[in-house]
Amino acid sequence: MKKIVLACALIALGSTQPTSSVVLTSGAIGKLDGTVINAKKIQLMFKILSNLEKILGHKNGSSKNDRYTFKQKKYSLRGLMRLLEDGSVTHAQLAQCFKQVKSDLKNNSLQYAEHTRGSKSFLILYVNESCLKHGHKESILLNWAHTKEGTEAEQMEKELTDLYTCYTFALSLSTFLQDMIQSCPSAVVDFKKFIRQKLPQASVQSFEKWINIIQSRPKHYATKRNTLGNR
């Protein structure tokens, strides 16, 4: 358990955060904050968010966490997208990387899907609101949220057809999770209490600093963002 919490805390180092989060208001989320959406669920969100950060990679350049190998060099998903944008490689040449990225995204999204069992109606409301306010109107995340419980794996297999669809899905899911964290301050307070009991003080300070960045970020209602550089 301590290793899982520590892994979540390390997201504060080298994080690739979106420029803003939104506070969700659908589905009586304020009443669920701190009760149905509790510290353990916030912990899972941070764990998945940490994994997505490692998949996506830094906005600018490479890092030691880059995990996808192409021609004996490590790349993040963002790095692979830059190769495609530059026209220096084709999707076919990156087929093995795509297979690995797809597997990583499926594993992480299914973890979250399992966590939402029995509350699909609320999940749909929250995903709809997040995607709308961030301008992700055609995101695969919308289809994923509306999928019948227990069929998410089949949906991901169908929808994730190339690195681009993987990239847009990862962005939408990462942004959505940060919106959820932003929208549940009571659960976050409870989670802070939890990590103070489990982690060394230095790790707690680093992690709480990252939480505070999310919570203090301007509430931005995006219209459309197309360029890789802004993500």
Taking only the tens place, the pLDDT of each residue in 120-140 is 889 999 999 999 998 888 889
Please answer whether residues 207 and 199 qualify as being in contact, where contact means their C-beta atoms are separated by less than 8 angstroms.
Answer: yes
Distance of CA 68 to the CA centre of its chain: 18
Q: How many CA atoms lie within 13 A of 123 on its CB side?
A: 21
Q: Is 114 helix (H, G, I), strand (E, B) or coil?
A: helix
SS3 assignment, position 120: helix
pLDDT tens digits for 40-99?
A: 999 899 889 889 989 999 877 777 889 999 999 999 999 999 999 999 899 999 999 999
Let me know: does 162 contact 98? Beta carbons within 8 Å: yes
- Name the residue type at position 178: Q
Q: How far are the Cα atoms of 80, 82, 110, 229 from residue 90, in angstroms, in the given order?
A: 10, 11, 29, 20
Q: Is the pLDDT of residue 217 over 90?
A: no
- pLDDT band, very low/low/confident/very high, at 215 (cuts 50, 70, 90): low
Output the pLDDT for position 219: 46
> Tokens representing 117?
């069992």
Distance CA 156, CA 102 (A): 8
Check residue 148 and report its DSSP letter: P
How far is residue 81's CA from residue 169's CA, in Å, rounded to a whole number?
13
Cβ contact 68:100 at 8 Å:
yes
Examine the pLDDT at 4 and tell me if it is beyond 50. no
Task: Take residue 144 and report the two structure tokens written for it.
Answer: 């994923």
Does pLDDT of 179 surpass 70?
yes
Phi, psi at 15, each rounded to 5°: -70, 145
Read off the pLDDT band of 202 (50, 70, 90).
low
Q: pTM for the complete prediction?
A: 0.81
CA dist 15 to 64, 160, 189, Å?
Answer: 13, 24, 21
